[in-house]
Structure 1
Amino acid sequence: MDAGEQGPADARRPRWVYREGDEPDPRFSLANERTFLAWVRTSLALLAGGIALEALAIPAQPGFRLGAALVLIALGLVAIVQGWISWAKTERSMRIGAALPGLSIGALIVGGIVVAGVLVVIGLLW
């Protein structure tokens, strides 16, 4: 390779993920990518649920409905950021042979969905 050419690891972004270590088995990288895409789907579902609560105007108290919608929208934004960070940390861990990171926000997602559900139920019963 000439001095001006870039290797595969140099051309990929983010560099902090790809600049160190060795290429992992492609099956593991593809599985990591599928997990990232699952986070994207989860994020889209949370965002769509939050928007639908307000757009469909269910017969609930407006304040509770809006609160639940905002919780779901915030969770959707958190989920996509978590998905990207998790993908990057897992890919880097595989490249350098380190232990894989654990799920860091599972309880936050579950708790937020429970809060949104409780807000909707209270708004319907109020």
Structure 2
Amino acid sequence: MEAPEKEPDPRFTLANERTFLTWLSTSLALTAGGVAMAAVSPDVFVPWMRTLLAVVLVSLSALAAALAYPRWRRVQRALRTGAPLPPPALAALFGYGVAAVAVLALVLILTAR
């Protein structure tokens, strides 16, 4: 049987909302990075690598945006029922994904020309 719900401290609810909005702003930044990578001049990076980097960035963006609300809802439910907070399962994926894009871009920059 689930624990009865109670209204959590407003500070926790607002912190959860700020985290939700941060995931959305991260998603927008990843989209901008992907669009910028796709718009880079063809003579800067090999075209297939530019496309790959752009697709990875925009895919991470879509994933962040799609999972922001379900994460907010799970955390809010945990706050209301007194259950443990769910782990940030996708944090590692986003961290390593963005790091991989950065390393690939750095290698391409250093080996260009």
TM over 0.5: yes
Match of 1:44 in 2: 28
Asked whether 1:86 is paired with 2:60, we answer no
Q: Alignment partner for residue 40 of structure 2, among 48, 56, 77?
A: 56
Q: Distance in 2 between matches of 1:89 and 1:35?
A: 13
Between structure 1 and structure 2, the one with the greater Rg is 1
Q: Alignment partner for residue 117 of structure 1, among 79, 102, 107?
A: 102
Asked whether 1:24 is paired with 2:8, we answer yes
Q: Distance in 1 between matches of 2:80 and 2:91?
A: 25
Deviation at 1:85, TM superposition (A): 1.7
SS of the equivalent of 1:74 reads: helix
Task: Mark the runs of 5 or more structure 1 residues left unpaired by the alignment.
Answer: 1-19
Number of equivalences: 107
TM-score by length of structure 1 reads: 0.77
Q: Distance in 1 between matches of 2:99 and 2:47?
A: 18
Stretches (4+) displaced over 4 A? none
Task: Mark the runs of 5 or more structure 2 residues left unpaired by the alignment.
Answer: none
TM-score by length of structure 2 reads: 0.85
Root-mean-square deviation (Å): 1.6
Deviates more, 1:105-114 or 1:115-124: 115-124
Do 1:39 and 1:83's aligned partners in 2 also have CA atoms closer than 8 Å? yes
